[in-house]
Amino acid sequence: MKSSGRACGTCKDRRISCDRGFPICLQCIRSNRKCQGYEIRLSWPRRNDRKRSILGKTLTGTGKINSGLYSPVRIVNTSTSDIELYHYLASTGFGHLPCLPIVPRSISWTSITTDTDYNLLQYFTCVASSSLTAMGPCEGSPELRDVLIRVALSPSTSSSSAVLHSLLALSSLHRHGFQSHAARMKLSALSDLATSAKTGVDSDTAVSHIAALMLLCCFEIQHSSETSNLWIGYISSVKTVLKAANIDKLHKTGDLAALLYWASYHDVLAPFSLHYWGLSSREKRLISGDHDILVQNNNLYSLFEAFNETSYQCHSNLRKLSDVLTMILQAKSRRAAGLNHKDLLAVLEWKIRSINVPIANPMEGLDPSEMVSEKLMTEELFKLALFIFVERSLGDSSTKSEKLRSRTRSAFHIFSRLESLHRQFPLLIIANEARTDEDRLIVLDLISRTEENRSLRCLRGMKETIQSLWAQDDLAEKEPGYTEKIRAVLSSGGIMPSFI
């Protein structure tokens, strides 16, 4: 019989000599006891054992201790904000600090009842909020993330609970994928919205309703359920809230302006999906609800512009984007109204050029290396995508002008320099122009780099769409029609895609 180099656990406890037989010692066999083996065991100090540990007295309280987050033990927490600040100080050698970083502050525990929800709120603050998209830096406006958190943690009401549950649902989806907790939070948010709506919508609750609806819209976009097109329905619901609350009587706050701008950006890009998704007009109206998103006079931007015409300066670019997309998607009706093709292209080019991006324009022969900011490069990329989309949609699809080829080269050059790209509209439009293996590799590398950034949205569906567009280019004997190809590929899926 093999022998072990130590006594078995049972003999140690009995304080007798062990014959160290392996795998079971003879002492345990003879005494008909279970041999605990020879592995390392974890043990804890016994009561009154002063040799191994100093035992503290149990804390006692005079009052009743609440369950949950409260405890008689007082703990000083070190948050992620503290750690980030420490790393910054350590990197500077704790010497002179030329420029202090802006570090997100820790969240208050107000309205949070579980550790899971608190962690999800922290995750939203530091990570998931980066997946929320709008157009361009809005000078003078409060940051969207801070607005959402402030509304979610406002005094507990049904409407504020709806925002909190919507935020937690999106954070849970972003962190863990679609699972039971994310679904429960979403259902709780919908229930809270229904409860709040029973008492009517006023100036205070309108902000909460818009925030909750847009978070749920983002939830559906990122979830991409194969049986649901609810994301566009939530945008229509925002319009319903604004009409019910009477926007002219709403308090013109920065929070409401930021939320309206965010919702308007989604509303401006939604007609692109509706236009290229192959459903009948009746089905599109059923999806978009009572307020047809294709009706120009009933879009969110017109409400947003009427609400805040001067204090929210970034609305100018959004208006120009809305005009450009509307003119492209309604080009046939505008030609019928007497605007010829050349004049239409000239107007669209002028509108796109007037979108303010304060960086060098590579299309005008300047070196793109002058563009040092990822955000500014992304804005320039959006303009390039619009230029390409205009010429490809309204021009001769069988030929490419030198101007189009130059803009396409500039776009791929920016693609190669970006660390990530969270805007799906320019990604689709520009990737569709890739004809060589080199250009396609640039696109796939950018998608791969973006997917490595966990704070951004998953691009799996977008990648499949782009590859399907490339497949049609490779299979066709001659280049297929631009509009027909995009419509066929986008309509082949079970849901209406979002390119926000």
Closest CA to 466 of 428, 412, 425: 428
The answer on 126 and 27 residing in a single domain is no
How many domains does the chain contain in total?
3
- DSSP state string for 52-113: T-PPPPPP--SSPPPSSS--SS------HHHHHHHHHHHHTTTS--SS----PPPPP-TT--
Beta bridge partner(s), residue 327: none
The answer on 464 and 375 residing in a single domain is yes
Reading the block at residue 61, the tokens are: 């309280």
**Could you count the other beta carbons within 10 Å of the beta carbon of residue 107?**
17
Report how far apart the first and last C-alpha atoms of the chain are (Å, whole number): 72
CA angle, 375 then 379 then 382, to 5°: 140
Cβ atoms of 431 and 466 closer than 8 Å:
yes
Domain with 21 in it: 1-44
Q: Residues with Cβ < 8 Å from 287, sequence gap 6 or more?
A: 229, 232, 233, 274, 279, 496
The answer on 268 and 347 residing in a single domain is no
CA angle, 473 then 478 then 480, to 5°: 55
- DSSP state string for 152-179: HTSS--HHHHHHHHHHHHHHHHHHH-S-
Closest CA to 357 of 76, 135, 25: 135
- The Cα-based distances of 83 to 77, 137, 178 in angstroms read 11, 28, 30
pTM: 0.71
CA distance 16 to 223: 63
Reading the block at residue 242, the tokens are: 């604004």
The answer on 272 and 191 residing in a single domain is yes
Give residue-wise pLDDT tens across range 387-417. Answer: 999 999 887 655 678 899 999 999 999 999 9
What is residue 365's predicted lDDT score, i.e. its pLDDT?
39
What is residue 186's predicted lDDT score, i.e. its pLDDT?
95
Is 58 within the bounds of a domain? Answer: no
Is 61 within the bounds of a domain? Answer: no
CATH, residue 32 = 4.10.240.10
What is residue 315's predicted lDDT score, i.e. its pLDDT?
65
| Angle between helices 254-276 and 230-245 in degrees, nearest 10 | 140
Q: Tokens 């409401």: give the residue.
A: 256
Is 112 within the bounds of a domain? Answer: no
CA distance 134 to 136: 7
What is residue 319's predicted lDDT score, i.e. its pLDDT?
80
CA distance 416 to 226: 32
What is residue 181's predicted lDDT score, i.e. its pLDDT?
93
Is 99 within the bounds of a domain? Answer: no
For the chain, which ranges sit under pLDDT 50?
A: 59-70, 137-142, 226-227, 286, 288-298, 309-313, 336, 358-371
CA distance 39 to 17: 17
The answer on 338 and 308 residing in a single domain is no
Beta bridge partner(s), residue 3: 21
CA 140 to chain centre: 22
Q: Tokens 């709040």: give the residue.
A: 196
- Please report, as a single letter, which amino acid is at residue 337: A
The answer on 472 and 370 residing in a single domain is yes
Give residue-wise pLDDT tens across range 429-476. Answer: 999 999 999 999 999 999 999 988 877 777 888 898 899 999 998 888
Is 102 within the bounds of a domain? Answer: no
CA distance 211 to 392: 36
Q: Residues with Cβ < 8 Å from 218, sequence gap 6 or more?
A: 131, 132, 170, 231
What is residue 291's predicted lDDT score, i.e. its pLDDT?
40
What is residue 52's predicted lDDT score, i.e. its pLDDT?
58
- The Cα-based distances of 88 to 81, 106, 176, 455 in angstroms read 11, 17, 29, 21
CA distance 431 to 416: 12
φ/ψ of residue 97, rounded to 5: -105, 100
Closest CA to 421 of 130, 104, 137, 174: 130
- DSSP state string for 327-384: HHHTHHHHHHTT--HHHHHHHHHHHHHTS---S--GGGT--GGG---HHHHHHHHHHH
Reading the block at residue 208, the tokens are: 């909460």
What is residue 447's predicted lDDT score, i.e. its pLDDT?
93
What is residue 290's predicted lDDT score, i.e. its pLDDT?
42
The answer on 345 and 287 residing in a single domain is no
What is residue 296's predicted lDDT score, i.e. its pLDDT?
35
Beta bridge partner(s), residue 21: 3
Is 382 within the bounds of a domain? Answer: yes
Is 80 within the bounds of a domain? Answer: no
The answer on 240 and 133 residing in a single domain is yes
What is residue 372's predicted lDDT score, i.e. its pLDDT?
52
The answer on 270 and 148 residing in a single domain is yes
φ/ψ of residue 437, rounded to 5: -60, -35
**Could you count the other beta carbons within 10 Å of the beta carbon of residue 204?**
15
The answer on 453 and 388 residing in a single domain is yes
The answer on 437 and 472 residing in a single domain is yes
Q: Tokens 């937690």: give the residue.
A: 168
Q: Helix (H, G, I), strand (E, B), or coil: what is residue 338? A: coil
The answer on 373 and 273 residing in a single domain is no
Is 11 within the bounds of a domain? Answer: yes
